[in-house]
Structure 1
Amino acid sequence: MAACENCTKGYILEGEPKGSIQPNGAYLIKSPTPSTRAIVFLTDVFGLPLKNCKIVADEFSEKLGCDVWVPDLFEGKPPVTPEQLGPLLTDVPGVHVSIFSKIWTILSLLHVIPTFIRNRPSIVDGRVEKFVAEIKPSYEKLGAVGYCFGGAIAGRLASTDLFQSAVIAHPGGLKKEQIEKIKIPVSWECAEEDHSFSLDLVHESEAFFKAKEGTEQALPYEFKIYKGTTHGFAARPNLGIPTVKAAFEEACQQTVDWFQKTL
């Protein structure tokens, strides 16, 4: 998967994680009471070092009353570190970006290309499959929620039997043919402006699922486009912008509601 210009940009959430890193390298926030279901949280390119994923995982665990696991997708070496986190190119849609800014952004991403190659889909998907095989005996049902890089993983693995339900937020690099292989219920959290998951692809994907309604292949699904947002809003939001803050909070609730219905 190639790096997108927004994948390395964003903001750090306030707060401190309440869970802990387990012997298998994953972050785990446990439910206060034993649960037969769990959520696997698939991160963006920052992986576990960026605390955003842990803070959001904590919220999901509290609201859903289940364990939430955040596996180490990159074996301790994510493509981008929190220290390299920069502001989004644009926090809201429709902002003009000069050609010089675009060229500078592309040049600044060249150094991460080798790490993306080392973490190509066949590799990271295999890591997730191995991780799920380890924890699956402890639960009756597993859901997956993925953001950006992790959203594409969730989309690809939604064609397997690993999970019973999934939520995909502004995926990076998910192809139409992969979407058409999905065979579990999926909720989509889409940005209004996203070069990685364009509105054209959003509408085409929604039309594909709608066309299956009333047939044996029909699946529960939903698509929500969050106005006033760009790629990354559900993972690395600028909470100083009211529309982005509202979208981030609504997307978190969308995830909770979806798993309450389908898991």
Structure 2
Amino acid sequence: MSCPDCFRGAALSGEPKGTISDVNGAYLASRPSSSRAVVLLSDIFGLDLPNPKLQADFFSEQLGCDVWVPNMFNGNAPVRPEQMRMPERAGQRFSLWDWIKIIWVALPTLPAIYRNRASFIDKLKSTKKYDKIGAVGYCFGGATAIKFGATGLFDTIVVCHPAKFSMDELKAIKVPSSWVCAEDDMIFGHDFRLKAEAAMAGRKDGVAYEFRDYKGTTHGFAARPNTDYPEVKEAYEDTLQQTVEWFKKTLTSSS
């Protein structure tokens, strides 16, 4: 359920503008009279990093809707920000010792990954009467978005370099999906990515989808980019626009 790249990355600069809500302690970037919403499903750093909050602020402003970031780990994220490693360009490999350190840190807290997710969505739907809700998920959150894509809880999803999932879970998705794909991803590797797109293309139900690849990137770049690398900075900014355009087309448009 984890990989070395999940533990690499950088904190984005900036000051979040939203608030911690009374809905399961989720972060909320709100817009007045929003009838539609986006749920941002974070990676394993959760709300301990500013990144998902800053992304929520950006999406809320660009889309003119509420954006929620669930507190999926109840304040006990599997990895602390101080345990991050700065990312390298595509092609880096981790040693056996790196794997051992990651397992040692993450294993005791991995069960927390699955807490608070469905309960948050249920509470959100029962207390907020949105017309439509979309989800964008990163790493572990990406795998969660895939699972929820089969449930009808969301109307559209964006999946960014997801954690491990099965082909059956992909085939069960019944809402429009947009995929952000890293060049070098030890979980959602190139061969699996091609099979995933072929599976979507072979469906007969006409559910919309798209896959976009980003050169020079590794797993995690859309959540924790090291913007000191020009190609990573450009790719990260492009993923933000990909997400905005997808939601404009499938979530916030009047059609």
TM-score normalized by the length of structure 1 = 0.91
Cα deviation for residue 180 of structure 1 reads: 1.1
User: Residue 170 of structure 1 aligns with which residue?
Assistant: 161
1:3 aligns with 2:2: yes
* SS, match of residue 226 in structure 2: coil
1:234 aligns with 2:225: no
Contact 1:129-1:162 within 8 A present in 2 as well: no
Deviations 1:97-150 (A, max 9, x none): 4xxx5122112112211211x235xx34xx222111212242110000000010
Moved beyond 6 Å, runs of 4+: none
1:113 aligns with 2:102: no
Q: Equivalent residues in 2 for 1:188-207 (5 A)?
A: 188-207=179-198
Contact 2:40-2:136 within 8 A present in 1 as well: yes
Q: Equivalent residues in 2 for 1:10-25 (5 A)?
A: 10-23=9-22, 24-25=24-25
Give the RMSD, CA atoms, in angstroms.
1.2
Contact 1:93-1:228 within 8 A present in 2 as well: yes
1:262 aligns with 2:221: no
| % identical equivalent positions | 47
Structure 1: distance between partners of 2:95 and 2:108: 20
Contact 2:156-2:250 within 8 A present in 1 as well: yes
Count of aligned residue pairs for this structure pair: 247
Contact 1:209-1:218 within 8 A present in 2 as well: no
* SS, match of residue 225 in structure 2: coil
User: Residue 94 of structure 1 aligns with which residue?
Assistant: 91
* SS, match of residue 6 in structure 1: helix
Structure 1: distance between partners of 2:25 and 2:91: 40
In the alignment, residue 95 of structure 2 is paired with which amino acid?
A: K
- Ranges in structure 2 where 5+ consecutive residues have no aligned partner: none
Q: Equivalent residues in 2 for 1:1-263 (5 A)?
A: 2-23=1-22, 24-31=24-31, 33-88=32-87, 91-95=88-92, 97=93, 102-109=95-102, 110-116=104-110, 118-119=111-112, 123-124=114-115, 127-136=116-125, 137-212=128-203, 215=204, 217-263=205-251
Structure 2: distance between partners of 1:176 and 1:114: 28
Cα deviation for residue 206 of structure 1 reads: 0.6
TM-score normalized by the length of structure 2 = 0.94
Cα deviation for residue 190 of structure 1 reads: 0.4
Structure 1: distance between partners of 2:174 and 2:186: 25
* SS, match of residue 197 in structure 1: coil
Contact 1:159-1:184 within 8 A present in 2 as well: yes
Structure 2: distance between partners of 1:21 and 1:174: 30
